[in-house]
Each structure stands twice: as structure tokens, then as C-alpha cells.
């Protein structure tokens, strides 16, 4: 029996080796799909083929130039794709983290995020610009420290008041951490993705940028159109209604949406309170 296993052990090891490489390549390609890294990777492959041609045809000068360039490729990759590398590490970290390291959610569950949905809907109806960032597993302390620290209970009234254009805190983003408003008037890094439409303003570019550098999600209310946008992993879902926004937000926070939503106890106009949420 042992001899039988010893005969097949190298074969199993090789199969495992190939399978692991296949999984890594597949995940990397999946992460690169649709990003600015794709044409760069294609260019690097073409350079590799050109180097192979130079070696095969004994083109000494071209081989020397390409060999010298390949020496700096590692550094170039880190500089050019630092955001993509960070996003990939976050992707792997979120899926390989141990249960003991998972961040525990609060006891309020979906009801606390209904405050965000209700506030975004109200601000959208008034065409008041807003940017709300919800922290997940990657901490945003470096961004929170750049704003005005609040550490206040998350509520509809406070969110609407903060984004009121007549208040000093309306310019910038609100960051929600551990189901509390950690800071307001936070200025976020803008996305550097050249594929982003030029029609999008600073608020939308900041919402994309913060989700590219972390696993946070953003809710944006356009000041010009009143449209609500949800951003996750640099991807936008635009023109959302209340039901769609609530489903996306609770899904991102890994909260079940089967519970019955508590009725908001806010005093608003009838046109703003009659919102049906499934």
C-alpha cells in the first residue's frame, strides 16, 4: 500500500501544483478584467515575445536593450498598479480571513442602515448632494482623521442636517464606522482610472476612489440630477430607487433583508414619508 502511494505521490503533487497555479492565474485575470491594467499586461506580453524573437534570431542589440528593461519591470509594476495590487490583496484578505478576525456587526442590523437609505432618498428628492462611505473590514482611520470627528449615533436627522448646504460640514464625505458616524467633512482620494466618464464630478470620483483603495462602499446623491448611486469595488450602480439601494447596502454589509423593516418615526412631508421598502 505504501509503495502504491509512493508511486502516485509525485503525480498528485504535480496535479496540486498545476491546480494552484491555475486558480491564482484565474483570480488575477478576473481582478484585472475591465481595468486599466489589461492593455499594459498585453504590452508586457508583446515585449516578452519580442525578447524571445531577439534571442532566437541572435539580435544582440535588441536583446541587450530588452534585458536591461526587464530588470526594472518589477518596480514599474508596483508603481503603475499600486491601486490594483492593493485591491487584490484586500480581495484575498477578505476571503481568507479567519472567523476570529471577522469584524462583528452591531445589534441593530438592517434597521440602522435604513436610516442611510431614508436620508439618501430625502436628499435625492431635494437634489442635495451627499457622499456617505460605509467602512467594512478595512479600516479608514487615516481618512477619518482628515475630517471632523463626530463619533455620533447614526440617524436620519443627523445625516440630513450634515449635508444641508447651509451647514459647515456639508462639503465632503461622511464616514460610517461600526454603525456610528465617525466623521464628517472628510475629503477622499479621487480615482485615477482613465476609464471613468468625464461627466462624473468630484463627488462621484471620490466615491470610486475610496472603494478602489479599500473594501468600503459608498452612497452618492447627485446635486445636479438627484440620482442615487451605489459604489463597490470601483463599480457604480446608478439611478437607484429606495428598494434597490437598500438591497445593495444590506447585501454589502452581509445583513439579512428578510426581517421586517421598522417604520421610520420621522416628521417629514407626506411625499417623502410614503416610501415602500421590501
Percent of the chain having pLDDT more than 90? 28
Residue 113: helix, strand or coil by DSSP? helix
Q: Which residues of 76-103 are buried (b: 16+ CB within 10 A; e: fewer)?
A: ebeeebebbeebbebeeeeeeeeeeeee
Pick the CATH number of 110-254 from 3.20.20.70, 3.40.640.10, 3.30.565.10, 3.40.1700.10: 3.40.1700.10
Ordered by start, the domain boundaries in the chain are 2-101, 110-254
- Contact in structure between 243 and 278 (CB atoms under 8 Å): yes
The distance of Cα 194 from the centroid of its chain, to the nearest Å, equals: 17
Per-residue model confidence as pLDDT tens digits over 193-242: 777 888 888 899 999 989 887 889 999 999 999 999 999 988 899 999 99
- State the first-to-last Cα distance of the chain, in angstroms, to the nearest integer: 60
More confident residue, 180 or 42: 180
d(CA 249, CA 121): 13
Q: Which of 232, 111, 228, 220 is nearest to 174 (CA)?
A: 220
Per-residue model confidence as pLDDT tens digits over 129-151: 999 999 988 888 888 888 999 98
Residue 214, pLDDT score: 83
What does pTM read for this prediction?
0.62
Amino acid at each position: 500500500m505504501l509503495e502504491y502511494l509512493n508511486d502516485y505521490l509525485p503525480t498528485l503533487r504535480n496535479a496540486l501544483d498545476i491546480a494552484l497555479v491555475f486558480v491564482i492565474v484565474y483570480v488575477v485575470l478576473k481582478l484585472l478584467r475591465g481595468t486599466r491594467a489589461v492593455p499594459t499586461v498585453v504590452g508586457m506580453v508583446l515585449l516578452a515575445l519580442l525578447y524571445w524573437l531577439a534571442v532566437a534570431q541572435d539580435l544582440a542589440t535588441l536583446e541587450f536593450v530588452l534585458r536591461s528593461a526587464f530588470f526594472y519591470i518589477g518596480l514599474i509594476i508596483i508603481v503603475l498598479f499600486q491601486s490594483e495590487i492593493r485591491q487584490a490583496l484586500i480581495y484575498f484578505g477578505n476571503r481568507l480571513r479567519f472567523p476570529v478576525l471577522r469584524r462583528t456587526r452591531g445589534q441593530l442590523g438592517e434597521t440602522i442602515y435604513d436610516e442611510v437609505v431614508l436620508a439618501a432618498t430625502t436628499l435625492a428628492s431635494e437634489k442635495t448632494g451627499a457622499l456617505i462611505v460605509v467602512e467594512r473590514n478595512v479600516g479608514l482611520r487615516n481618512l477619518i482623521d482628515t475630517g471632523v470627528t463626530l463619533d455620533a449615533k447614526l440617524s436620519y436627522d443627523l445625516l440630513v442636517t450634515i449635508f444641508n448646504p447651509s451647514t459647515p460640514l456639508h462639503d465632503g464625505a461622511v464616514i460610517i464606522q461600526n454603525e456610528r458616524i465617525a466623521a464628517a467633512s472628510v475629503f477622499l482620494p479621487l480615482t485615477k482610472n482613465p476609464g471613468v466618464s468625464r461627466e462624473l464630478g468630484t463627488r462621484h470620483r471620490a466615491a470610486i476612489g475610496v472603494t478602489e483603495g479599500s473594501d468600503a462602499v459608498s452612497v452618492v446623491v447627485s446635486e445636479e440630477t438627484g440620482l442615487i448611486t451605489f459604489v463597490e469595488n470601483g463599480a457604480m450602480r446608478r439611478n437607484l430607487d429606495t428598494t434597490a439601494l437598500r438591497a445593495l447596502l444590506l447585501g454589502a454589509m452581509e445583513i439579512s433583508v428578510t426581517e421586517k423593516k421598522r417604520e421610520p418615526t420621522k416628521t417629514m412631508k407626506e411625499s417623502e414619508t410614503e416610501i415602500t421598502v421590501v
